[in-house]
C-alpha cells in the first residue's frame, strides 16, 4: 500500500508530524564541527509478522529486528542552507535468514537565496534498497524467490523560484529526474524452474523518468494560497517485457490548488486537475482523466486532532498491465493523553486498477500506536497493524498482522 510516501502527501505528513510533535518527537542533539552541525540518531524496532511473505497460500511468520542509524551534517550561512544525510537500515529475520538485507540512503539538499527574488533548491538522493519477497513486483509470487531483490534508485530535483517570499505572487520552475536499476535475477536463480530461456526477469523493470513543470502561487490572504501547476514528462524503459510492446510513455498533468495554514482549527490543501499518460506503442491503451490530491488536518482540541487525505494518481506498473491507477483514502486520529504519552489510530483504504489488465486490488489497513517520551532524546513506541488485500486474482489475496515495539534515540 502506498500512503504518505507520495509527493502529493508531503504537506499532510508534515502537518501530522507537527501536530503530534509535543507528544513524542525527540529533540536531537547537535554537535558542532567547525561551521557545521553533526546530528546522529538511531531507530530500532522488533516486530512480529504472522504472514511476512504476504501470501495466504504460503503463510510464514517471523520476528524481525531492524536497526537504522542515521547521520546528518548541516550548515546555515545567512539565508543559504546545506544538508547531507546518510541512513543505513539492517533488517534481520530471525526465522528466515535468507530474507535479511541492509539498505542505504544518501541524500543532499542545498537551498540558495541568490537575491531577494531569486531562490534555487537542489535535492539529490541515492538509494540502495531491496524489495521484500511478496511485495510490489512479487505480490502473490513470493515462493518463486529465494531472497529479496536488490535495486538502486537515483533522484534529482532542481527548483528555481522567482518572486520574494513576502510577495503576493511568485512562480516556481522545477526539473525532476529519476532512474532505477535492478540487480539481475535470472530464471535459473528462482526457487522454481520455469520453462523458456534463462532470461533476466528484472531487466524490464529499469527505466528513466524526466519531468519539467511550473507552478504559479498567489496568496489570497495571510494564511491562504491558490496554485496553478502544469507538468510534462516522459518515461523511458530500458527493455520490454518478453513478447510485449515497450512501455515508454509521455505524461502530462495540470492542477488547480488551494492551501490554507495557520487556522486554529484546520489546515490543509486541495488540488484537482487532469492528467494524461500516452504510450509510444499503440499496443497499450492510453489513460487520462480527473485526478485529485486532498489533505485536511482538523484540530478540535489542542491535544487531539484528526487528519484525512485522499488522492487519485497514476503510477508505473509493477509487473502486470501498463500502469496502475491508485485511489486512496486515509483517516488518522492523534491524541495526547499526558505530557509524555500519545496515541494514533489509522484507517487506510486503496484501490489499484491495472491498465490493460483485468487485475484490480483492494487494500485495507488498520493500525494503533502508542508513544511514550521517555527522555528529551529517547522515544518509545508500540504498534499493532492489520493489513488485507482483496483481488480478482485469488493468488494475490492476503491478510496479515504485525506487532512491533521501537525506540528512537538521539545523542
Own/partner pairs, 238-241, CB within 8 angstroms, 24+ separation? 238/203, 238/204, 238/206, 238/207, 238/208, 239/203, 239/204, 239/206, 240/204, 241/204
pLDDT in tens, the chain (411 residues): 334 434 444 444 444 444 444 445 677 788 888 889 999 999 999 999 999 999 999 899 999 999 999 999 999 988 899 999 999 999 999 999 999 999 999 999 999 999 889 999 999 999 999 999 999 999 999 999 999 999 999 999 999 999 998 899 999 999 999 999 999 999 999 998 878 889 999 999 999 999 999 999 999 987 899 999 999 999 999 999 989 999 999 999 999 999 998 667 899 999 999 999 999 999 999 999 999 999 999 999 999 999 999 999 999 999 899 999 999 999 999 999 999 999 999 999 999 999 999 999 999 999 999 999 998 899 999 999 999 999 999 999 999 999 999 999 997
Written as nine digits, the cell of 72 is 546528518
Q: Round to whole Å and give the CA distance between 321 and 358.
A: 8
Q: Round to whole Å and give the CA distance between 102 and 22.
A: 32
Written as nine digits, the cell of 99 is 530474507
CA dihedral in degrees (48, 51, 53, 55; nearest 10)? -170
Per DSSP, 171 falls in state E
The beta-strand segments (E) located in 98-139 are 101-115, 118-131
Domain ranges for the chain, please list them.
Answer: 7-112+129-152+187-197+223-229+236-410
pLDDT of residue 119: 96
Report the CATH fold assignment for 7-112+129-152+187-197+223-229+236-410: Porin (2.40.160)
pLDDT of residue 25: 66
For the chain, give the number of residues.
411
pLDDT of residue 24: 53
Q: Round to whole Å and give the CA distance between 279 and 249.
A: 4
Global pTM? 0.90
Residue 371 exposure: Cα atoms within 13 Å on the Cβ side: 21
Amino acid at each position: 500500500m502506498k500512503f504518505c510516501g507520495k509527493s502529493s502527501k508531503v504537506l499532510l505528513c508534515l502537518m501530522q508530524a507537527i501536530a503530534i510533535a509535543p507528544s513524542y518527537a525527540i529533540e536531537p542533539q547537535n554537535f558542532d564541527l567547525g561551521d557545521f552541525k553533526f546530528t546522529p540518531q538511531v531507530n530500532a524496532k522488533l516486530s512480529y509478522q504472522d504472514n511476512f511473505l504476504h501470501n495466504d497460500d504460503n503463510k510464514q511468520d517471523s520476528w524481525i529486528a531492524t536497526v537504522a542509524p542515521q547521520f546528518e551534517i548541516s550548515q546555515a550561512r545567512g539565508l543559504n542552507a546545506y544538508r547531507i544525510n546518510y541512513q543505513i537500515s539492517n533488517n534481520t529475520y530471525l526465522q528466515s535468514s535468507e530474507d535479511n538485507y541492509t539498505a542505504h540512503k544518501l541524500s543532499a539538499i542545498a537551498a540558495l537565496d541568490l537575491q531577494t527574488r531569486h531562490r534555487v533548491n537542489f535535492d539529490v538522493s541515492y538509494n540502495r534498497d531491496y524489495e521484500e519477497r511478496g511485495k510490489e513486483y512479487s505480490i502473490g509470487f513470493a515462493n518463486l524467490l529465494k531472497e529479496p531483490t536488490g535495486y538502486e534508485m537515483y533522484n534529482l530535483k532542481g527548483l528555481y523560484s522567482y518572486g520574494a517570499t513576502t510577495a503576493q505572487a511568485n512562480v516556481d520552475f522545477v526539473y525532476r529526474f529519476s532512474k532505477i536499476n535492478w540487480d539481475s535475477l535470472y530464471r535459473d536463480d528462482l526457487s522454481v524452474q520455469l520453462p523458456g530461456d534463462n532470461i533476466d526477469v528484472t531487466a524490464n523493470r529499469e527505466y528513466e523518468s524526466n519531468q519539467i513543470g511550473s507552478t504559479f502561487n498567489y496568496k489570497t490572504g495571510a494564511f491562504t494560497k491558490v496554485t496553478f501547476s502544469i507538468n510534462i514528462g516522459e518515461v523511458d524503459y530500458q527493455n520490454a517485457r518478453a513478447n510485449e510492446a515497450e512501455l515508454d510513455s509521455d505524461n502530462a498533468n495540470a492542477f488547480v490548488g488551494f492551501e490554507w495554514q495557520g487556522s486554529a482549527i484546520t489546515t490543509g490543501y486541495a488540488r484537482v486537475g487532469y492528467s494524461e499518460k500516452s504510450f509510444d506503442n499503440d499496443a497499450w491503451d492510453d489513460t487520462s482523466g480527473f485526478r485529485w490530491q486532498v489533505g485536511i488536518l482538523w484540530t478540535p482540541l489542542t491535544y487531539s486532532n484528526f487528519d484525512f487525505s485522499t488522492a487519485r494518481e497514476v503510477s508505473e506498473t509493477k509487473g502486470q498491465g501498463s500502469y496502475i491507477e491508485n485511489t486512496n483514502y486515509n483517516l488518522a486520529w492523534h491524541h495526547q493523553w499526558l505530557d509524555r504519552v500519545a496515541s494514533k489510530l489509522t484507517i487506510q483504504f486503496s484501490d489499484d486498477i491495472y491498465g490493460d489488465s483485468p487485475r484490480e486490488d483492494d487494500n485495507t489497513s488498520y493500525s494503533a500506536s502508542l508513544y511514550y517520551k521517555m527522555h528529551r532524546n529517547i522515544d518509545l513506541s508500540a504498534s499493532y497493524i492489520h493489513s488485507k488485500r482483496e483481488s480478482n486474482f485469488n493468488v494475490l489475496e492476503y491478510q496479515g498482522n504485525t506487532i512491533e515495539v521501537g525506540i528512537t534515540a538521539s545523542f
